[in-house]
Amino acid sequence: MKRYLILLVLLSGFCLLSAQQVNIWQNFRHSSRDAEGNIHIRWDNIGAEYLNLEFFAKSGSGTWQSYPINHISEVSSVAQPPFEWNEPLTWRLRSEQSYQGVGGAMLHPAWLSEDTFPPSIIDLAFIGSDAFGDSVMVYAPHLDLGDTWIGCSDDKVYFVMQNSTNSFPTMNSFTSYNAYGCGIANPESALADSTVYAMIYGNIIGIVSPGLYKIGVTENLTPTFNRIGNIQSTVSGGKLFMACNLSDLTNDPSFGAWPNYSNTLAFTGLSMKLDIDLANLEPQMGLGDYSMPGVVVFDKLVHVASGNTLPVITELKVENNIVSCFYQDAEGDYPLVCEFVNQLGEVTELRTITHDYVNGVLFAGTCSAETRSGELSVSDNNIDFQSFDYEIVSNDDQLLPSATLACCVTNPIQSGSELKIKLSNLQANELKVQIYNIRGQKIWSFIGYPAAANEVTLSWDALIKGKPAPVGVYLLRVENASTELVKKFSIIR
C-alpha cells in the first residue's frame, strides 16, 4: 500500500518546499519606450543575484525571446525588451534552484492567446530537465523522463513531457501497463487536505483511463483515486501533450481557494508501471520517474500603450531635509530619472515604495540641510525631460508652511508593540495619517479633525488583518491642511 502513496508524498513534499519561497517576484513596473525602442521592466526579489533568473518576452503573437537581466540592487532587477506602440508585450520569469539536494524551478507559465491543441512547443515555458538513467522504484526506458514544459490560457492548463525513447506506450504486455501523469498541487491546501491532482495518460481497463484525477488518502492511509474531469492528450514529435480545464481543478471542493494567496500551483511529471499478478489478479504499481518540479506563478504580465503621456508632478517640497513630490503617469510608467539638484550642485535621487503610478505615488529623498533652492528633473523614457524649480522665499521662512507641523514616533518599535504617533501644531482642517509597508501597500489609515488644542496622539496596534506586522521598514505619511510630513520607521524583533 505504501507504494501507492509515493505519488502523494512527492507532490506534497514539493509543496512544502515551494511554500517557503512562493511567488518571490513582486512589484512589476515599466517605463515608457526609450530612444532605443525598449521599455525598462523592473521587479523586486530579495537576493536576485543568487536566483539564476531568466527573463523572456514576446511582442504580440511573436515568439518568446530571452533578454539579459541587470541586478540594480540586492532587491531590484531590470530587463529591457523591445516595445512597439499598440502591440501588447508579454513577459515572464524563470528561476532554477536547489533545495537540500533537490532541484526545482519557479516560473511564470507561457500564456496562450487561443486554445489550440496541441500547442507548439516554442509557445510554451520550459520547466526543467531531469537526467536520463535515474528511477525511483522501477526502471524502464519509456518511464525515464527528461524535459517538461508548461503553458496556460484563461481556461486551460497545458503540460508537455519528454522521455528517453520519445515514445509513450501504455501497454507492455497483457499483464503489464505504463501510465504517465502530470501531478498538480495547490501549495496552500495540499498538505492540509492530503489531496493532490494529476492528468493521467494511460489505458488500463477497469483501473485507469485518460483523465483528470483527484488523489488522496483516508485516515487509515488507504489511497483514493477519483476521476473528476476529462483531458486532451496526444503524442506528437516525440513528446506527450496533455491539457485540462482549469475549472475542473478549481471547482473541486478539496482544491482550496483559487486564485490562492500566492497565485501559484506546483507541477511535476510522473511515470508509473502497473503489473497484474494473474494468480490473484492483484495489481502491483511502481513509480518509474518524476521530472523536475516547478512552482508556477499564474501572473499574467502584459503591457500595451499607444504612446507616451508626460508624467504630472505636483506638491514639490523640501521639509526637514526631505525633498518629495507627488508623481502620476497616465500609462502607469515609472520614472527612469527622478532627481533633485540643489543650489550647491548636490544630487538627491528620489525613490518610492509604492508603485501605483496611474493614481499617483510619493517620491522622496534626503537632501542637504543647506538646501534653499534647486531643480527637480523627471523623465519616464530618457528622451523627454521635465524640470521643476524650487526656491525658499525668505531665509526667515520655514522650508514650507508645513514645517510647523510636528510628528514624533518611537523608532524603531518592537514587534508586537504599539506605535505611538504624537502630532502637534495642527490646524483646524482635516487630518489624514497613513502607514505603508515596503511593498507600497496601505496597511493603516486615520482620518479626522484635531481638537482645539491642536495636538493629537494616535496609536497603531502594529497588526495587519489581526496578525503582527512583519519586521521591516514602513512609511508614515501625515497630511493636515496644506502641510505634509513623511517619516520612516522600523519594526524589529
Alpha carbon distance 433, 446 (integer Å): 5
Q: Is 67 exposed, middle or buried (0-12, 13-18, 19+ CB in 10 A)?
A: middle
| Structure-block grid coordinates of residue 490 | 522600523
Look at residue 192 in the predicted model and tell me its pLDDT. Answer: 58
Query: Mapping DSSP to helix (H, G, I), strand (E, B) and coil, where does residue 238 land?
Result: coil
Q: What is the pLDDT along the chain (493 residues), one digit of tens a residue?
A: 333 344 444 444 444 444 444 568 889 999 999 999 999 999 998 766 667 899 999 999 999 999 999 998 878 999 999 999 999 999 999 998 876 666 789 999 999 988 999 999 999 999 999 988 888 788 899 999 999 999 999 999 999 999 999 999 999 988 899 999 999 999 877 655 668 899 999 987 767 789 999 987 666 655 677 899 999 999 999 999 999 999 999 999 889 889 888 899 999 999 999 887 767 766 677 889 999 999 999 999 999 999 999 999 999 999 888 999 999 999 999 999 999 999 888 999 999 989 999 999 999 999 988 898 899 999 999 999 999 988 875 444 444 444 467 888 887 888 888 999 988 888 878 889 999 887 678 899 998 887 666 788 899 999 988 888 888 888 888 888 878 777 888 888 7
Nearest CA-CA partner of 159 in 244, 78, 229, 80 = 244
Q: Is 287 exposed, middle or buried (0-12, 13-18, 19+ CB in 10 A)?
A: buried
Q: Where are the domains of the chain?
A: 2-302, 312-391, 401-492
DSSP state, residue 86: T
| Structure-block grid coordinates of residue 416 | 508586537
**Topology given in CATH for the domain delimited by 312-391:** Immunoglobulin-like (2.60.40)
Pairing of the two strands 145-152 and 110-111 = parallel
In this prediction the pTM is 0.74
Nearest CA-CA partner of 199 in 172, 170, 229, 224 = 229
Look at residue 10 in the predicted model and tell me its pLDDT. Answer: 45
Nearest CA-CA partner of 382 in 84, 80, 174 = 80
Torsion of CA 132, 136, 137, 141, to 10 degrees: -20
Q: Is 249 exposed, middle or buried (0-12, 13-18, 19+ CB in 10 A)?
A: buried
Look at residue 483 in the predicted model and tell me its pLDDT. Answer: 80
Look at residue 441 in the predicted model and tell me its pLDDT. Answer: 80
Look at residue 303 in the predicted model and tell me its pLDDT. Answer: 97
List residues bridging with 231 in a β-sheet. 244
Q: Where are the beta strands (DSSP E) in 72-124?
A: 76-79, 89-99, 102-107, 110-111
| Structure-block grid coordinates of residue 278 | 494473474
DSSP state, residue 133: T
Check: CB of residue 252 under 8 Å from CB of residue 214: yes
Q: How many CB atoms lie within 10 A of CB 432?
A: 14
Same fold, 312-391 and 401-492: yes
DSSP state, residue 193: H
The CATH superfamily of 401-492 is: Macroglobulin (MG2) domain (2.60.40.1930)
Look at residue 409 in the predicted model and tell me its pLDDT. Answer: 85
Q: Where are the beta strands (DSSP E) in 22-155?
A: 26-30, 41-44, 53-59, 65-67, 69-71, 76-79, 89-99, 102-107, 110-111, 125-128, 145-152
Look at residue 175 in the predicted model and tell me its pLDDT. Answer: 85
Check: CB of residue 201 under 8 Å from CB of residue 243: no
